[in-house]
Structure 1
Amino acid sequence: MNIEIGNEKRFFDFIKNLDEKDKIVLISHVDLDGITSAKVVNAVVNADNVKILQYDEVDEKLAEKLKIDGYTKIIISDMYVEREEILKAMESFAEILILDHHPSKDWNSDKTTHLKAEEGYCAAYFCYSLFNKVQNIEKLDWLVASACIADFCNVKNREWIKAIFEKYGIQTGGYMNKLGFAYDDISKSEIYRVQWDLGLAIIFFRDNLKRVFESIGESFGDIGDLKEHSSKIEKEVERAMDEFEEKRIEFEGGYFFVFNPRFNVGGLVSTMISTKYPDKTIMILSEKENGYSISARRQDGNVDLGLFLKQLLQGLENARGGGHRQAAGAYFMKKDLPEITKRIGLQR
């Protein structure tokens, strides 16, 4: 795995210089990759506080709160920072470590250490590969493998994941999830079930993600009682999948679908649909209070979705978006829905 931004020496220097006087906050993303990254990092640094946040929650208001709370070190995992102003605000009172895999500017400075993994590796695996050199944290390898599968980042590190399967005696026999989708090769496994249940729990406990973070243990598959809450989310996903087939709108190269879910299942639904239509750009719009969120997926990688969404939203008020080539997300205001549909040339 190549490091495209930054270098290991600066990472090791940052970790080596942590001491008991530091007050450390760990910030990570709201999906399984982000929560797993936080578990991996925290197994070594034992942060004073862990915050599981959306991208747009990392802003100047957060920086001001962290300053008031007296944090001297900020560790950010699985989160890309878009604006320099946010980092400058944080650098005024703390040193920062960013470990990520999203396309990004190089934010390295005297106060910020920024490392980015090459495309194809998830943040959890990147964090694990670094922190396992500081301290043996192989007890979390099963969780990291789950995050790799959940993030569709299980190809470049295929041999490592196979070794994890062998370690735990996991068979790769045919597995079909509860919504009827078969997954090939290593995803046909017990680890797939673990990441599926964790993914549903993350949606169910959206307003209390610390509950998910704290429920994950060290032994293989130890996720406490999180699985008990999955059925409600499965029903919502199943409803959305059926509704997509009935109400999707075709545009050149893909499908467009707007719905108003009870739970925040847009990302999961778009991922599930994209496995069924791998050569299509899938755009799932979830209605919010003042706007719409977009979950975009395309499995064959023939469209750079991060760039696609940035161009789609260009010039729109309070719009933001970006991500990877095969998976990206965005938000725009309700008044701009007609402009969005115009820009992608929707056809029934």
Structure 2
Amino acid sequence: MTIERFDAFVKSITVNDRIALVHDTDPDGICSGVLVATSVERIRQKPVDLVISKDHGKVTLTDGNLKMLQQHKINKLFTTDLGVDGDPATLKRAEETCEIIIFDHHKLVNDVNSPRTILIKSQYLVTRIDPSQYPASKLVYDLFSRHVDLSDRDWLAAAGLIADASAKTWQTFLDVLFVKYGEKKLDNIFDTPFGMVGRIITSTIGIEEGQVSALFECVLEAKSYRDILASRFRKYEEKYSAELQRCINEHKKKAEFHRELERMWYEIKSPYKINSPVSTILSFMPEYLSTTIIVLQDMHDGFYAISGRRQDGKVAMNDLLADCVNGLENANGGGHRPAAGAKVAKKDLQIFKERFMKALQALLAKKD
């Protein structure tokens, strides 16, 4: 039913529609957003009318977003890689003027399907794949490919899924692209050209978040992944990688380890927003595959950015972080089972840490 409704929605798109895109600003969010924008333009021979880039602080629609939609007289809205189903009330308000399609692969919070909204979650389409392993970029690519030729943009799906740590699940798809584009398959998938696209996106936003709109346009206008690798944004990746390596090298000296709870707590200090990739890299190290990792960073705006990782599936990081921030002022948390994030006010950090320790202890006690 979901696919049939999507097909009908796409077939209804016309040049007269006022279409908006709201996307997350990580690699999967940008790649999936560009795939939506490309598809819409190819279908109706006209670009989308409005692009709104969301930071990780608020993944649902805001009053400001609704105001922009109204100002631009939007009547069709696409969102990508955002758990906007977490706020049904705001969605209902958006429905007053818009028909909505939500592309997402996060945990289902609310079934917001309605005559005006189509919620497309990865878990609705496949049961044999963990939803966290079916990123929005691949989801958008697969569904829009039913209506428009995106074969020249398959590398965007590859970049998004690699950045979202889903390469093993889609190895056959990636192998075909390595052959198609004459690229070598490397042991570290993040070092491949497709992986480098994601690294450039992450680095640019981590160093200079104000570049999001320009970065989105760069990816949208690129004829090939090589255009992105040769773009002015490549310089950010070089700086970011050096800082990332420093944080990784220092973790054994500076992180707190609690062996009985299989826990690492690592507060980093960096001029760049870098906690998320640090936590990801650490979590894939063989010695930490069964460790619950928290990497946090003072963002100097009154809040800490927190990234949680656990790769063996023993702990649901999305549920754990959501529980730990529950009721805290202006805090949020969620994501996927192996990888999640949170934002906590500095004044509440100790409360968060105490909740985290107690919750982790209780979870592991149940497993035993």
TM-score w.r.t. length of structure 1: 0.89
Question: Is the alpha carbon distance of 1:275 and 1:66 closer, same or farther for their aligned partners in structure 2, counting shifts above 3 Å?
Answer: same
The corresponding residue for 2:256 is 249
The question of 1:67 aligning with 2:76 is answered no
The corresponding residue for 2:168 is 155
Cα shift at 1:130: 0.6
Cα shift at 1:339: 1.2
The corresponding residue for 1:282 is 293
| Paired residue type of 1:210 | S
Deviating 4+ runs (over 4 angstroms): none
The question of 1:110 aligning with 2:108 is answered no
The question of 1:18 aligning with 2:19 is answered no
Moved more, 324-333 or 60-69: 60-69
Q: How many residues align?
A: 332
The corresponding residue for 2:98 is 94
The corresponding residue for 1:268 is 277
The answer (yes or no) to whether the contact 1:172–1:187 under 8 Å persists in 2 is no
| Paired residue type of 2:16 | K
Aligned partner (choices 331, 334, 355) of residue 343 of structure 1? 355
Within 2, Cα distance between the matches of 1:187 and 1:93?
A: 41
The corresponding residue for 2:241 is 234
Cα shift at 1:187: 5.2
| Paired residue type of 2:266 | F
SS of 2:297's equivalent in the other structure is strand
Cα shift at 1:188: 5.8
Q: Cα deviations across residues 113-138 of structure 1 (Å, max 9, x unaligned)?
A: 11111312110000000111110011
The answer (yes or no) to whether the contact 1:172–1:188 under 8 Å persists in 2 is no
The 5-angstrom pairing of residues 1-348 of structure 1 reads 7-45=2-40, 46-55=47-56, 56=58, 58-81=61-84, 82-104=86-108, 105-118=110-123, 119=131, 120-174=133-187, 183=188, 189-216=192-219, 217-223=222-228, 224-251=231-258, 252-276=261-285, 277-288=288-299, 289-345=301-357
Cα shift at 1:84: 1.0
Within 2, Cα distance between the matches of 1:170 and 1:232?
A: 25
SS of 1:75's equivalent in the other structure is strand
Within 2, Cα distance between the matches of 1:63 and 1:173?
A: 44
SS of 2:209's equivalent in the other structure is coil
The answer (yes or no) to whether the contact 2:298–2:304 under 8 Å persists in 1 is yes
Query: Aligned residues: percent identity?
Result: 30
Which ranges in structure 1 are unaligned for 5 or more consecutive residues?
Answer: 1-5, 175-182
| Paired residue type of 1:198 | I
Moved more, 43-52 or 201-210: 201-210
The Cα RMSD (Å) is: 2.0
SS of 1:262's equivalent in the other structure is coil
Cα shift at 1:13: 1.3
SS of 2:227's equivalent in the other structure is coil
Within 1, Cα distance between the matches of 2:200 and 2:307?
A: 20
Question: Is the alpha carbon distance of 1:173 and 1:85 closer, same or farther for their aligned partners in structure 2, counting shifts above 3 Å?
Answer: closer
Question: Is the alpha carbon distance of 1:109 and 1:208 closer, same or farther for their aligned partners in structure 2, counting shifts above 3 Å?
Answer: same
The answer (yes or no) to whether the contact 2:206–2:272 under 8 Å persists in 1 is yes
Within 1, Cα distance between the matches of 2:311 and 2:243?
A: 23
| Paired residue type of 1:31 | D
Cα shift at 1:341: 2.0
Within 2, Cα distance between the matches of 1:115 and 1:345?
A: 35
Question: Is the alpha carbon distance of 1:202 and 1:334 closer, same or farther for their aligned partners in structure 2, counting shifts above 3 Å?
Answer: closer
Within 2, Cα distance between the matches of 1:116 and 1:241?
A: 34
The corresponding residue for 1:180 is none
Question: Is the alpha carbon distance of 1:173 and 1:69 closer, same or farther for their aligned partners in structure 2, counting shifts above 3 Å?
Answer: closer
Within 2, Cα distance between the matches of 1:237 and 1:47?
A: 35
Q: Per residue, is there more helix in 1 or in 2?
A: 2
Within 2, Cα distance between the matches of 1:221 and 1:299?
A: 31
Cα shift at 1:225: 2.3
Q: Cα deviations across residues 37-91 of structure 1 (Å, max 9, x unaligned)?
A: 0111111113112222124063123212322332111110111111111101211
The corresponding residue for 1:178 is none
| Paired residue type of 2:103 | L
The answer (yes or no) to whether the contact 2:159–2:195 under 8 Å persists in 1 is yes
Cα shift at 1:22: 1.5
SS of 1:302's equivalent in the other structure is coil
Cα shift at 1:173: 4.0
